[in-house]
Amino acid sequence: MRSKVWLAVRIGAVVGALVGAAECLALLLRIPSWPLDTPTIPVAMMIYGFIAAVMAGVWGLAAWRRLDHQTFQVRTVMCTLLAMTYLLGGYWIHRWWSPQLLALPSLLVTGLWTLAWLIGSWILLRPPGRPSASFETSWVRPLRGLMLGLLVVAGASLMLPSLWIRTHQVLGARDVPGGTQRPNILLIVMDTARADRFSSYGYHRKTTPNLDRLAQDGVLFERASSAAPWTLPSHATLFTGLYPAQHQAERPHPRLDSRFATLAELLYDHGYQTAGFSNNHWVSREMNFHQGFEHFDDMLDGGRLINRLAVVRVMKKVTGLVTRRLDDGAEATNQSVRRWLKTVFDPGRPFFVFINYREPHFPYKPPEAFRSRFLRHPREPVEKVLEVAASLHRFAPAAHQAARVDRPMRQLLNDLYDGEIAYLDAKIGELLGELETRRLLDDTVVIVTSDHGENIGDHGLFGHQFSVYETLLHVPLVLRYPAGLPAGRRVAERVSLVDLLPTLIELLSLAAPSLQAALPGHSWVGSSLVVAPDLPIRSEYAAPVPMLARSRTRGQAIDERSFMRSLKSLSRGGVKFIWASDGHHELYDLRHDPGESQNVIQQFPDTARALKAELDQWLTAMQSAGTPEDVEPMREWTRKELRALGYLQ
C-alpha cells in the first residue's frame, strides 16, 4: 500500500506542477514585460503540485486495493487531471456566470459540478475489464522526463529576470559628462496619500515615524499642492513640469505624449542611470511613462501574477485570506528595487530611481499588524471590515451615495487608510535603510510626495474624483539632501508639484536653458531655500464620463449635474476659487476654513470675479504644445485593472 500511495503522491505533484506552470505561462503571455515575473512559475508549480499531491494521495488510499499496478498509474494521472479540472473549471464557471458563492444559483452550480467530479472519480475507481499494458505504460513513462523538464523550467524562470534586465533596457547606457559629480535622485510617489494623515503634518496618530525622521534630516513643505486630483495628469505634471492644460494627459487622452521632455529624459541626457518602478497602470509603458528610462518595471503587470492564479483566488475567496505577502504591495516593489541595485546599478554613474507605491490606494488592505493598529474595535472580524470596504468600492462611481455610509463605517475606513499609510511608511523606511547600508543615502536627493489625496466621506465624497478640494490636492512633500538642503527646515508657503522639475534643474545645475525657460513653475531653491510667499496654486480636473456611465448601467438614479463637470481651482493669498463648467463656482477662505466647509462666494463676489478673471487669463496663456498624439486602444488587462479600481466602466 505504502509504495502505491507514495507513487500517487509523486504523480499528483508532477501533474499539478505542470498545470500550475501552464496557467502561469498563459497569464505571463499577456504581460509586455513578462520575463520580469517568471519567478512566479516555480511558485505556481509548488502550490499546484502540493494541492494535486494531497488529492492524489487521498485517491491512492482509496484505489490501491482495487487496481493493478499499471492501471493504478494511469488512473492516478487521470484522477489528478480530473481534480485540477474540477478546481480550475469550478473557479472559471463561478467567475463568469455565478460570482456570488453563497447565492442559491451558485450553490446549485457548485453542487452539480461537485457531483460530476465525484461520479468521474468513482468511475476511475472501478477495476478495468481488460488491462492494456502498452497503453498504460505509454501514459506513465513520459512523467519522469516531464519532471526533469519542469525542474529545468523552474531554474530558468528564476534566472530570466536578471538576464532580461541586462539585455532589454529601454535605453542604452550613457556616460557621465566629464568633470561632473552629481547626486543620485530617488523620487517616491505614494499613491493617494493625503498630507493631513502624516504625523509630521500634525496628525494625532503616529502613522509615519520613518518619514518624520526623513523630514528632520531635510525639508518639509507644509502646504504642497498637486496640479490634478488623480493619478495620470498628476504624474504627467511631475514628469514634465507642465500643467494638465499643457500636457493634456487627461480624459479623453490617457497618455503622456512623446513630444514632451520628461524628467527621466533630462537626467538620462546628463548621464544618469534611470530606472522606474510603477504600481499603477496609469503610470506605465502603455501610457508612455517609460520614456527616458533605461529600465522600467510595470509592477502591476507582473507583480500581482501570483494573485491571479485560480487556486490562490479560490483560497482568498473561501477563507477570506488577505495578505500583502502574496500581493503587489510595497514589499514586492522593494524587492524589485533591491534586485535592480544588486544586478544592474552601475556605481560609476548616478542613478535616478522613480517609484510609484500603490499604497494607500483603495481598497485599504494593510497587513494585519497595521490593520489592527488603528481600528477603534480591533476584534471586529476582518471579513466584516473588508465587506464594508468592498461595498464602498462598488459605490465609488456614484459618490453621492456617501450619505448611505454611516459614521462608524467611515471611521472604520479611515482607520484602515491610516493602517495603509503606516505600512507604506515602514516599507519606505526599509528602502531608505537599504540605501544607507549601501552607503548611497547621503549622496542621494530623496523626494517623497504623493500624486493626490483621498476623500473618505469628506464633502460627502469617496475616492479621488468629482472635486478639487484640499483633501485631494494637499499632498505631503519632503526633500532630503544633506549636501544641498538644510536639515529640519519647514516651509510654510504654498508650493505646487509643477515646481519640482525646475527645482531639480537648479539644485543639480543641469544645463537645460530652453526647457527651463518653457516651464511654468518656479524653483524652490537657490543658494538658500527660498519660496515666494504668494505664488498662485492651480489645479485642473476633467469630467469623469466613463465613471458615470458605469453608474448608469447599474440603474442608479443620479443627478449627474453635480458630477458631470470639469473643475479648475486657483488659490492665492489664502483664498481659493473653484471654477465649475456648470457655472456653480465656489470660493473658500482657507486661512479660517481649511476644511472648505463654507462657500463664501455670495459674500465676496468681487474677490471671486477677480480670481476667475486671473484663472481665465492663465488658461488662455497655457496653450497645449501641438496636437495630441494618437492613443492606441487600451489593453484588456489594463482595462480590467482600472475597472477594478473604479476608473472605467
Each residue's pLDDT tens digit, 591-620: 999 999 999 999 999 999 999 999 999 988
pLDDT of 325:
42
Place of cell 534586465: 165
- pLDDT tens, position by position, 315-344: 766 655 444 444 447 988 999 899 999 988
Q: What's the whole-number average pLDDT of the chain?
A: 81
DSSP of 305-360, one letter per residue? Answer: HHHHSHHHHHHHHHH----GGGSSSHHHHHHHHHHHHHHT--TTS-EEEEEEE-TT
Element at 494 (helix H, strand E): strand 489-496
User: Where in the chain is CATH 3.40.720.10?
Assistant: 169-644
- pLDDT tens, position by position, 257-316: 989 999 999 999 999 999 999 988 889 888 889 999 998 888 765 455 777 788 877 776
pLDDT at 558 over 70: no
588 backbone φψ class: left, alpha, beta (φ>0; ψ -120 to 50): beta
pLDDT at 633 over 70: no
Domain 169-644 of CATH type 3.90.1570.30:
no
Place of cell 505504502: 2
Question: Which amino acid does the sequence have at 483?
Answer: A
pLDDT of 372:
83
- Does this model's pTM top 0.75? My answer is yes
In whole angstroms, give the CA distance from residue 336 to residue 574: 42
In whole angstroms, give the CA distance from residue 451 to residue 228: 8
Residue 504's contacts (CB-CB under 8 Å, 6 or more residues apart) are: 185, 263, 445, 510
Least confident of 82-86, 504-508, 628-632: 628-632
Q: Are strands 586-589 and 575-580 parallel, antiparallel or unpaired?
A: antiparallel
529: confidence class by pLDDT, cuts 50, 70, 90: low
In whole angstroms, give the CA distance from residue 362 to residue 465: 13
Pairwise pLDDT comparison (540 vs 252), residue with the higher score: 540
Q: What percent of the chain has pLDDT over 70?
A: 76
The count of other CB atoms within 10 Å of the CB of residue 585 is 18
Q: Is 48 helix (H, G, I), strand (E, B) or coil?
A: helix
pLDDT at 136 over 70: no
pLDDT at 176 over 60: no
Tell me the CB-side half-sphere exposure of residue 320, using CA atoms within 13 A. 9
Q: Find the mean pLDDT for residues 174-178.
A: 55
In whole angstroms, give the CA distance from residue 257 to residue 247: 8
In whole angstroms, give the CA distance from residue 391 to residue 8: 44
- pLDDT tens, position by position, 15-49: 889 888 888 888 887 766 677 678 888 888 899 99
Residue 176's contacts (CB-CB under 8 Å, 6 or more residues apart) are: 182, 270, 271, 348, 349, 350
C-alpha cell at 405: 455610509
pLDDT at 643 over 60: no
pLDDT at 85 over 80: yes
Pairwise pLDDT comparison (130 vs 539), residue with the higher score: 539
